[in-house]
Amino acid sequence: MKKSHHASALLTAAILTASAAFSTIHAQTDADKPRELTAEQKIIADQANTYIAAYNKGDAKTLTAFFAEDAEWVDDEGQTTAGRANIGKMLAAALSGSKGRKLDINVESVRPVTADVLLEKGRTIVTEADGRNAVSSYTAVHVKKEGKWLISQFTETGAPFLANAEAHLSELEWLLGDWVDRSEGVEVKTKVSWTTNRTFLTRSFSVMREGVAAHDGTEVLGWDPTLAKVRSWVFEADGSFSENVWTQDGKRWLIQSKTTLPDGGLGSAQHTLTWVADGKFTWSSANRQLDGELRPDIDPIEIIRAK
C-alpha cells in the first residue's frame, strides 16, 4: 500500500507542476511570443555549448581550437596570454587537477561589428566538485577566418553586477494571470502574480477531480544568484514539497525536480516545458523515480491561458 500511495501522490505532484510552467528567458516581442535567435546568436550559442562540453570533459585540445593563431586572453587582473599555443598551455594547466569541476556559460548578448567580426558578452559559472562556484563576466571578439569563427580576444572582466531578482524574473512576466489545463477528468487552475516587492513570482493552484475540489498548493519562483539559475519551491496541501532547478534550452525549460512526500517518500524527475504558440505551452516528465524505482513517463500536457 505504501508504494501505491507514493505513486499516486507523485503523479499528482507531477501534474500540478505542469501549471508552474514558464516560457523562454529570451526577451518577448509581445505578450506571449519569445524572440527567435538571430543567425549570429545561433552561431555563438552553438559554440558556447561545444566549449562547455569540451571543458567539462577536460579536452584542452578542442578548447584551444576555438582561438585564432594570434589570439589574446586578458584575465581579470590585466595579465595577457598571447597566441593560441600559449592559451592552450594555460587551459591545459587549468584543467589539470580540476577533477569534478564544471563550467557553464550564459551568453548575454551578441553584436555584429562588421560582417566578419562579432562581439559577445556573457558570464561564466565555474563549479568545483565540492559545490563552491565562481561567477565572472567576459567579453569575446570573434573573427571569421577561412569560413570559421575564431576567438581573437577574450577578456575577463571580473565578478558581474548581479541585477536584482525582479530584473531576472521580469523575463517571465508573460505568465502573469490565469492558466488552465485539463487531463483525464482532472482540471488544474493556476493564478500567477508578483509578490508585493516584486522579488518573487507566486503561483497558486487548485485541482478539481470530476468537479470536486481535490487539492491545492502554492509555488514560489525566484532567482538564485549563487547558481545563476531560476529555482522554484512547491508546497502542497497534503504536506508534500518540491524543489526545482530550471535550465533554459531554446524554447524549452528543462526542470530538475526533487519531491518529498508526506510519509517521507522521495521522488525525482526531469520535467520539460515547451513554448508552443501564443497562450499555449506543453509540459512533460521523464526519468521519474519513486524511492529509487522508475515510474512511467508523462506525455506532454497542454496548458492554455484562461479566457
What cell was used for 122?
A: 556573457
DSSP state of 58: T
Handedness of CA 128, 133, 134, 138 (dihedral sign): positive
How does residue 62 score in pLDDT terms, banded at 50, 70 and 90?
A: very high
| DSSP conformation class of 83 | S
Cell 506525455 sits on residue: 299
74: cell is 586578458
Are 289 and 269 in contact by the 8 Å Cβ rule? The answer is yes
Looking at residue 51, its pLDDT comes to 95
The H or E element containing residue 35 is: none
- Closest-CA residue to 188 (of 10, 21, 302, 19): 19
Q: Which long-range contacts (CB under 8 A, 24 or more apart) does 232-241 make?
A: 232/20, 234/13, 234/16, 234/17, 234/20, 236/13, 236/16, 238/9, 238/262, 240/9, 240/13
Instruction: Give the residue extent of every domain in the chain.
Output: 2-26+165-305, 39-158
Residue 41 makes CB contacts below 8 A (sequence gap 6+) with 107, 110
Mean pLDDT for 124-129 is: 84
Which pLDDT band, with edges at 50, 70 and 90, does 14 fall under? very low
| Cα–Cα dist 172/66, whole Å | 33
pLDDT at 215 over 90: no
Maximum Cα interatomic distance, the chain, rounded to a whole number of Å: 70
Which amino acid is present at 261?
A: L
Helix (H, G, I), strand (E, B) or coil at 6: helix
Q: Which class does domain 39-158 fall in?
A: alpha beta
- Backbone dihedral angles phi then psi of residue 161, each to the nearest 5 degrees: -75, 120
In sequence order, the 6+-apart residues with CB closer than 8 A to the CB of 129 are 99, 100, 101
pLDDT at residue 199 above 50? yes
Q: What is the pLDDT of residues 15-32, one digit of tens each?
A: 333 333 332 222 333 434
Fold equal for 2-26+165-305 and 39-158: no
User: Given strand 67-74, what is the order of strands in its sheet?
Assistant: 80-82, 67-74, 148-158, 133-145, 117-127, 102-114
Cβ neighbourhood burial of 179 (10 Å; 0-12, 13-18, 19+) = buried
Q: Any idea which residue has 512526500 for its cell? A: 261
Residue 99, SS3? coil
Q: Evaluate if residue 270 carries a pLDDT over 70.
A: yes
Name the grid cell of 219. 509555488
CATH code of the domain made up of 2-26+165-305: 2.40.128.20
Beta bridge partners of 187: 182, 208
Q: Single out the residue of 265, 234, 246 nearest to residue 15, CA to CA.
A: 234
For residue range 148-189, list pLDDT tens digits in order. Answer: 999 999 999 876 655 567 777 777 777 788 988 887 788 999
263: its cell numbers = 510519509
User: What is the pTM for the complete model shown?
Assistant: 0.50
Phi then psi dihedrals of residue 115, to 5 deg? -65, -20
